[in-house]
A and B are shown apart, each in its own frame.
Chain A
Amino acid sequence: MSGLRLRVGVFAGVVLLAVAGVVVYLRQAVTADPDGHTPAAASVDTGVAPVVAGAHVVFRSTAPGDGYGRVAVVPVDAPSGPRAFTPASCERVHAVRGTAVCLVALRGLATTYRVKILGPRWTPVSERAVPGLPSRARLSSDGALTATTTFVYGDSYASPGQFSTRTLIGPTGGGDPVDVEQFTLRVDGKPVTAVDRNVWGVTFADDDRFYATAASGGRTWLVEGSRSGRTLTALREDVECPSLSPDGTRIAFKKHGDLPAGRWRLTVLDLASGRETPLAETRSVDDQAEWLDNDTVLYGLPRDTDGSASSDVWAVPADGTGAPRVLIPDAWSPAVIR
C-alpha cells in the first residue's frame, strides 16, 4: 500500500511540524522572560519603603517577566518612572496606608481563589477562600472594612451558562464577612426579592455606608448600602462599579447607556445634583475606577496592540474635559494612597 506509506509520511511531517512549532514558540516565550525580569527583580524590597513613605499608587504590574502579576508601587509625582516591586502577587489589589487587600487565583486543575489581607510588610496577615474569579476589591478609607467581588458560576439562573457575582463585606481584621446579596434591596421603595439579584463593585463612604451596583432582571442600579440596616436602596438606574471621590461628592462609574452589550462609558455622577458627566475616555472601560485626586479618575484598559495579557492604567479629568493619558504603563488595579 504505497498510498499508506505516503500518508504515514505526511502524518509524520504534520506531527513533526506541530511539535517543532510548539517547541520553538515555548522556547521563545521562556527566553523572552529574562528581558522583562531585569528591571523587575532589581528593586524588590529596598525600593518600596521610600516610595510608600510619600503619596503613591499601589497597582498590579503587568509588565512581562518575573514581575508579572506582582504588586508594585510608584510615587504619585513620577507614576511612569521605575516601579518598586513588593513580594505580593495579586489578580486584583486595593490598599490604604499599611494594609492591602489582595485577590489571588491559585491555578490548578481545580483553580481556587483566596482573599489575602496584607500587612505593612506586604506579607499576608490573614487569608480565606472566596468563591470564584477575582473581579473587584476595596478597602474602606481607614482600612477597617474589606469588600470583594468574585465571579461565581451561574448564579443568574435564567440564562444557561451565564456567570454571576458574589460580593462580600467583612471586617479586615477578621470575623465572618456578609454576603451583600442577603441585604434587603429596595427599588422605588419596594423590596426586590427576585432570586436573580446580584451586587458588585462596592465603594465605601464610611464604616457603615457604602455604594455598589445592584442588578436584577437585566437592569442595574446605583445602590446606597447600610451594613447596620442590612439594606440596599436604589438611587438611580444604569450605574455599574461605582467609585466615590476622595471628597465624597461624586461617583465615577461605568455607564452602559445604549452601547452594545459588554461596553461601557466612563462617567462621573454628582451625588447632590444628580448630574452625569461623560468623561473624555470614549473606549469601553470595564473596571472599577479609582480617583487620583478630586479632579482625576484612573482606570485600567487592556492593551490592544500586541494582543497580549498586558494593560495600562489611564488617567482622565473628572469634569469631562481634556483627553485620556497613560499614567502607569503595564499596570492594572490601581489604588492611590495620598
Chain B
Amino acid sequence: MYVSVRDRPAGPDEAPGRRSRRVATTVVLLGVVSLLTDVSSEMVSAVLPLYLTAEIGIGLLAYGFVDGVYQGVSAFVRILGGVAGDRGRRPKWVAALGYGISAVSRPLMLAANGMAAVTAVVTADRLGKGLRTAPRDALIADASPPGALGRSFGVHRALDTLGAAIGPIAAFALLAALPRAYDAVFVVSFAVALVGLAVLVLFVPDRRVGAGTARPALREVLRAAAGPRLRRTLLAAGLLGVLTVGDGFLYLSLQHRDDFAAMLFPLLYVGTNVAYLALAVPLGRLADRIGRARMLVAGHVALLLAYLCAAGSAGGPVWTVLTLVLLGTFYAASDGVLAALVSRLVPAHAKGTGIAAAQTVVVLARFASSVAFGALWVAAGRQPALLGFAVALALAIPAAGWLLRRVEEER
C-alpha cells in the first residue's frame, strides 16, 4: 500500500485511471489510525480477563454482564456521533474526540482496581468507540469516489483487522518478556493509541462534508437519513442482524463439539480475523462491481454455511477451520460493505447519521439475536438452535434480497 502525506485525498474528480490503482490517502490514514487504535485496545482486551481474575480478583461473571450492557449503550452513542458529525459538518473532530476518550482510558486502567473503577474505564473505552465509528466512516465515504466505496471500506477494515490481530500478539509478547507486567501492557497500549490519535489530528484532512454553508438542522439531517431507500436497507439489515448469531456463540458451539477448540479458544478469533483480513479488500472490490447490496446478501449465505458447518455432528479441525473461513468471509462481505452501501443512499449532509443508523440497527439486532439464540440453546440444545437459526436465515436471505432490490439504482 502506497502512503504519502503529500497526496491529496482522492475526490470524485480524480482521474479514473489512477482510481483503479490507488486508494485515497485519507482512507489509508484512517486505516492506520484504526490499526493503531485496535492494536491499543486489543492489547488491553486480550489480557483483561487474565488481569482481572489472576491479578485483581474481580469476578468475571459480574464483569461479563456489565460488558454486555455497555455494548448496548455504545449503540446509542453511535447515533449521537453520526448526528454530531453531520450537524457540525466536521466529522473529523467528533471522531478525534472518540479516539481521544478511548486513548485516555488506558492510563486510567493502571489506577483502576475495583469493580466500579474497571467498569468506568471499560465504559469510557466503549463510549469512545461508539462515538467515533460513524463520523470516521462518513469521512471514508466522503474521501472515496462513489465507484470504489467498497474497496475503500475494504482497505480500511483490513487495516483495522490487522491491528486487532497485532494487539494480542504484542500484549502476550510483552507479558512473556516481563511476567505480570500488566502495567507495561497498559502503558504501551496508551502510547500506541496516542500515536494513532496524532495521525488523525495531524494528517487526516479536516474536510467539511455536505454542500452549502449553512449548518443543517437536526430535523433535516434526520429526515434525510430516513428516506425510503435507506429505510428498506435498514429493514433488511435488521432482519439479517436478528438472525446473526454472535461469533462468541459459534466459537462456543465449536468448543462444545471439539475438545481441541476448547483449549485454543483465542485462536478462533485469530482464524476469523485472518480470513476477514485476507478477504476485506477483494470482496470490497467485488462489491463495487456486482453491487454492494448483492454482496451483503451473499455474505449472509456464507454465514448460513458457517451455521451448518458449526451445527454438523462431525467435528474435527477441517470443519472448524471451514467455519472460521466462512465467518471471516461473512464479515468481509458485510461490515464495510454495509457502510459503503448506506453512504450512497443518503445525501452528503446526512452520511454519518445514515451510517450510524445502519450500524446501530445491526448492533441492536445482533444483541437481540444473542439473547434469543441463548434462550433457544438453553431450551432446545446447541444443534437444534443452530439449525433453527439456519432455517430462519435461509428464509430471510431472499426476503432481504427483495427489500434491497433496485436500492442502488441511481435516482
Interface residues of A (CB under 8 A from B): 1, 4, 7-8, 10-11, 14-15, 17-19, 21-22, 25-26, 29-30, 68-69, 91, 105, 107-112, 129, 131, 133-135, 151, 153-165, 194-196, 261-263, 286-287, 300-302, 304, 307-309, 311, 332
Choose one: B54, B113, B192, B375; the contact of A133 (CB below 8 Å): B54
Check if A309 sits within 8 Å of B182, measured CB to CB.
yes
Other-chain residue from A29, A151, A156, A262 in contact with B115 (beta carbon distance below 8 A): A262
The reply to whether A286 and B263 form a contact with Cβ atoms under 8 Å apart is no
Measured in the bound complex, the distance between the Cα atoms of B168 and A107 in whole Å is 11
Q: In the bound complex, do residue A195 and residue B377 qualify as a contact, i.e. CB atoms below 8 Å apart? A: yes
User: Smallest CB–CB gap between B325 and chain A, Å?
Assistant: 18
Q: Which residues of B lie under 8 Å from residue A133 when comparing CB positions?
A: 49-50, 53-54, 60
Pick from B193-201, B228-236, B295-303, B339-347 the stretch touching chain A.
Answer: B193-201
Expressed in whole angstroms, the Cα–Cα distance for A247 and B98 within the complex equals 58
Least distance between B287 CB and chain A CB atoms (Å)? 28
Tell me whether B62 and A160 are in contact (CB under 8 A).
Answer: no
Let me know if B57 and A29 touch, CB within 8 A.
no
- B6 CB within 8 Å of chain A: yes
A–B Cβ pairs within 8 angstroms, 22 of them: A4-B5, A7-B203, A11-B202, A15-B195, A22-B191, A25-B184, A26-B184, A29-B183, A91-B54, A109-B270, A110-B264, A135-B53, A151-B60, A154-B252, A158-B375, A160-B367, A195-B377, A287-B57, A307-B110, A309-B55, A309-B180, A311-B57
Q: Known A8-B5, A29-B178, A162-B68; judge A286-B57 contact (CB<8 A).
A: yes
Bound state CA distance, A228 and B265, in angstroms? 33
What is the CA–CA distance of A134 and B52 in the complex, to the nearest angstrom? 11
Is the pair A134, B53 in contact by a Cβ cutoff of 8 Å? yes
Find the B residue at minimum CB distance from A60. Answer: B54
Q: Which residues of A contact B252 (CB under 8 A)?
A: 153-155
Stretch of B153-161, B169-177, B352-360 that contacts chain A: B169-177
Inter-chain pairs besides A10-B198, A261-B62, 5 sampled, C-beta below 8 Å: A11-B198, A107-B172, A153-B252, A286-B57, A309-B51
Q: Is the interface of B mostly helix, strand, loop or mixed?
A: helix
In the complex the two chains form, what is the Cα distance from A258 to B155 in whole Å? 51
Q: Are A196 and B378 in contact (CB under 8 A)?
A: yes
Contacts of B2 in A (CB 8 A): none
Out of B110, B246, B267, name the residue touching A109 (CB < 8 Å): B267
Give chain B residues whose Cβ lies under 8 Å from the Cβ of A301.
57
Of B51, B58, B182, B263, which one neighbours A110 at CB under 8 angstroms?
Answer: B263
**Contact indicator B262/A262 (Cβ below 8 Å):** no
Q: How many B residues have CB within 8 A of the partner chain? A: 71
Q: Bound state CA distance, A67 and B63, in angstroms?
A: 29
Q: Is the CB of B262 within 8 A of A131?
A: yes
Q: Are A18 and B50 in contact (CB under 8 A)?
A: no
The closest CB in chain B to the CB of A7 belongs to B202
In contact, B68 and A159 (Cβ under 8 angstroms): yes
> Are A309 and B49 within 8 A (Cβ)?
no
CA distance A166 to B54 in the complex (A): 17
Whole-angstrom distance from the CB of B39 to the nearest CB of chain A? 12
Knowing A25-B187, A196-B378 are in contact, say whether A110-B267 is a contact too (CB < 8 A).
Answer: yes
- Chain A neighbourhood of B199, CB < 8 A: 11
User: Of the candidates A21, A160, A194, which one forms a contact with B191 in the assembled complex, judged by CB atoms under 8 Å apart?
Assistant: A21
A-side contacts of B377, CB under 8 Å? 157, 195
Contact with A along B333-375 (1 / 0, CB 8 A): 0000000000000000000000000000000000100110111
Residues of B within 8 A of A19 (CB): 191
Chain A residue, CB-CB nearest to B5: A4
Once the chains bind, are A111 and B180 in contact (CB under 8 Å)?
no
Q: B249 interface residue, CB < 8 Å from A? A: yes
Could you say which of A10, A107, A134 contacts B202, with CB atoms under 8 Å apart? A10
B64 touches which one: A30, A134, A161 (CB < 8 A)?
A: A161
**Digit string of B3-37 for contact with A (CB within 8 Å is 1, else 0)?**
00110000000000000000000000000000000
Report the separation of the CA atoms of residues A200 and B251 in the bound assembly, to the nearest whole angstrom.
23
B248 CB within 8 Å of chain A? yes
Shortest distance between the CB of A51 and any CB in chain B (Å):
25
Q: Which residue of A lies closest to B385 (CB)?
A: A157
Q: Is there a chain A Cβ closer than 8 Å to B312's Cβ? A: no
Q: Is the CB of B264 within 8 A of A163?
A: no
B64-A163 in contact (CB<8A):
yes
Q: In the complex, which residue of chain B has the Cβ closest to the Cβ of A261?
A: B62
B191 near A18: Cβ-Cβ < 8 Å: yes
Q: Measured between alpha carbons, how far is A161 from B60 in the docked complex, in Å?
A: 10
